[in-house]
Amino acid sequence: MTEPSEVLARTGGRSVKRIVYSAAQIAERVQGMGREITDHYQDGDDVLMIGLLKGSFIFVGDLVRQITRPVQVDFLVAGSYGSGTTSSGEVRLLYDPEAKLTGRHVVVVEDIVDSGTTLNRLVPLLRQRQPKSLELCALLHKHLAPSIALEPRWVGFDAPDEFLIGYGLDHSENFRNLPFIASL
């Protein structure tokens, strides 16, 4: 359990509404997701995990250590929030993965599926590169988007419709270092 004084110390004195998922809950679920991904890929081919930065970096690091088969990691940078708490609706691609996707199992790792805007822009681009398979793994899913180009195969938690911070999720680049996920 995270004590209120620890939360305030970690947030620089800024209070949060509530802790939505504790560090222990996150660790347990990430371990389970790693087992699920390991079990899904049985053909012996390597799996390429593509983390969507910046929000997924902690999740990707923890997740790949729970996968007990060969994996490679690359990243993609796309942004749609800026300094606000709602998506701007405009997706900017800032860094494209260097790894070849053609003929490979690719798992896109997302911190949170919210409006679906980023995924709806990225998935068609990734499919054009002809991966052997393309799946989505999301730590959090809000189930708000009317349609998503690729529904997550693996979801850590169904998330409330609140602005969440911690475990890689930020507000104006702050709070990514929190070991729990909180509502701001």
Residue 44 structure tokens: 């012996």
In the annotation, is 114 catalytic? yes
With beta carbons less than 8 A apart as the criterion, state whether 63 and 28 touch: no
Catalytic residue among 62, 111, 114, 170: 114
Chain-centre distance of CA 183, in angstroms?
Answer: 17
| 29-33 own/partner pairs: CB under 8 Å, 24+ apart | 29/156, 29/157, 30/59, 30/62, 30/63, 30/66, 30/139, 30/156, 31/66, 33/63, 33/66, 33/137, 33/154, 33/156
**Residues annotated as catalytic (active site), given as ranges:** 114
